[in-house]
Structure 1
């Protein structure tokens, strides 16, 4: 990986629509970061005396950018297959997240990031499609972190990403991560018995163990909780769990053909899908959707689509 360390305060990529100030500096990369090396670095950082992190109360004021990213058609087809999308030239709403993921990994594995990368929990994701994006269009990507705030189970923050074509923002993503920390008092503010009944299912599908490894291959997210039984157990899961972004993509694939050209889709990741599993999908005419365990009704994901 190489990079241009020159601060680039403005190059046509808007960065203030969400109301947050523009970061103090911009790092323009000339090639995507190697995600595998970043995961190894993060794992080493967990070993005492070998780069363990200090805590912090602020996020780095840095934006990472990568220009002229082209879509590999073979990679796009592999992504479409594992997530259930049709093979078309239009990018699925969740695909730019995969393209921006190496930049997010680089940002969150940097020495000045306040939390260890391994152990962060992806709790929610919001994507805005400003218009359909064709696979032939080169994309300029940007990623930054924002809004560190308290949470009943610790602290959370957002990773903001954009994809632009010739200076026009065509896609936005907000991934919310939770850093679990010990807190006092009621941890979630809810009684487990208060969980509402799941909506009527409009479909069911089987999620096989290979989904974890196949999605890791196309997304670059090789967190061992998704691909390894041992790795999953180290973090308290009986079996590997499905990626949250795979779950969201699978829901959008079930809605394919009914979505507008421009929309925002939000998803909250609830209880993990332990692989293998059978899940129930539900969708309403009011543009809400959900995934639940087909037997128990326990929620895995809830989401909404809002036309722009």
Structure 2
């Protein structure tokens, strides 16, 4: 997988022609338990909201390393993720997973594209990726640091542990030396681990039909110490992870019409 990803470095395209890829999966209790442990979820029949993203990761990589995907994978930045489900998926049901790409569009810093993972008609994850080719500002937004609800100490091995259960063994997450090759002072946590850890902290408090939208901000260097904040309002929950600056900002809202 890493070799195929590296070979995409020579890819240059202004069009999106990736064909959807599909597969059916049965959930492994052993794998689910390992994922729950790494991310902080309790083991239940209902799957954690972020788990189908991991289940679909091989298909995501198949699509993104295929000929129709426009961007090289090295340097591609995962800037946002939105998950919407109409009901929880369960441990005992076979899951029909389809991954597609859509909405190639300009961005002040380059070009964005959405990689969409759909599961059994009830769950959808939209990962937005940015290919940086310019130096423009991503947003004029000024974020205010919220009051922390909890302090998390993120261990140095969380990238390797999450990489083992997710299949995402990008070198920037695994070791300080490999991360330095890509310009980071040390390894960084996976954005989807950070999102999963937030949802684990809110477990039992979100509606079953829910949409959770996050934006990934500054990389979370590991080991690290961050503050998690969460606040409920009339529309649902807002939450964030901050260190010296924002790492993740998100919201969870009911998806029931």
TM range (shorter): over 0.9
The alignment of Structure 1 onto Structure 2 pairs a total of residues equal to 252
Match of 1:57, SS?
Answer: coil
For residues 57-81 of structure 1, give each alpha carbon's deviation from its aligned partner in whole angstroms, at most 9, with x where no partner exists: 11114111112x1001010000000
SS of match in other structure, 1:62:
coil
Partner residue of 2:217 out of 270, 293, 298? 270
Mark the CA change 1:224 to 1:205 in structure 2 (over 3 Å): closer, same or farther: same
Tell me whether 1:289 sits opposite 2:239 in the alignment: yes
Distance apart, 1:205 and its partner CA = 1.0
Most deviating of 93-102 and 195-204: 195-204
Counterpart in 2 of 1:59?
16
* In structure 2, distance between residues paired with 1:266 and 1:143: 19
Tell whether the 8 Å contact from 2:8 to 2:71 is kept in structure 1 after alignment: no
CA–CA separation in structure 2 for the residues paired with 1:285 and 1:239? 34
What is the 5 A alignment of 1:151-190? 151-164=107-120, 169-183=121-135, 186-188=136-138, 190=140
| Residue 8 of structure 2 is aligned to residue 39 of structure 1 | no
1:199 and 1:189, CA in 2 relative to 1: closer, same or farther beyond 3 A? closer
Once the two structures are superposed, residues 90-116 of structure 1 have per-residue CA deviations (whole angstroms, 9 ceiling, x without a partner) of 100000000111111011101332211
TM-score, normalised via structure 1 length:
0.79
Partner of 1:199: 146
1:104 is paired with a residue of what secondary structure? Answer: helix
Q: Which of 211, 229, 250 does residue 158 from structure 2 map onto?
A: 211
Relative contact order: is structure 1 or structure 2 higher (C-alpha 8 Å, sep ≥ 6)? 2
Distance 1:45 1:105 in 2: 12
Per-residue CA shift, 1:114-137, capped at 9, x if unaligned?
A: 211122110000001210111000
Residue 280 of structure 1: which of 221, 227, 234 is its match? 227
Question: Which structure has the bigger radius of gyration?
Answer: 1
Q: TM-score, normalised by structure 2?
A: 0.94
Q: 1:189 to 1:219 in 2, by over 3 A?
A: closer
Give me the CA root mean square deviation.
1.3
Runs of 4+ more than 4 Å apart: none
Deviations 1:4-52 (A, max 9, x none): xxxxxxxxxxxxxxxxxxxxxxxxxxxxxxxxxx222222444xxxxx2
CA separation of 1:189 and 1:100: change in aligned 2, threshold 3 A: closer
Structure 2, unpaired ranges of 5+: none
Structure 1: runs of 5 or more not aligned: 1-37, 47-51
> Aligned equivalents of 2:144 and 2:209: distance in 1?
31
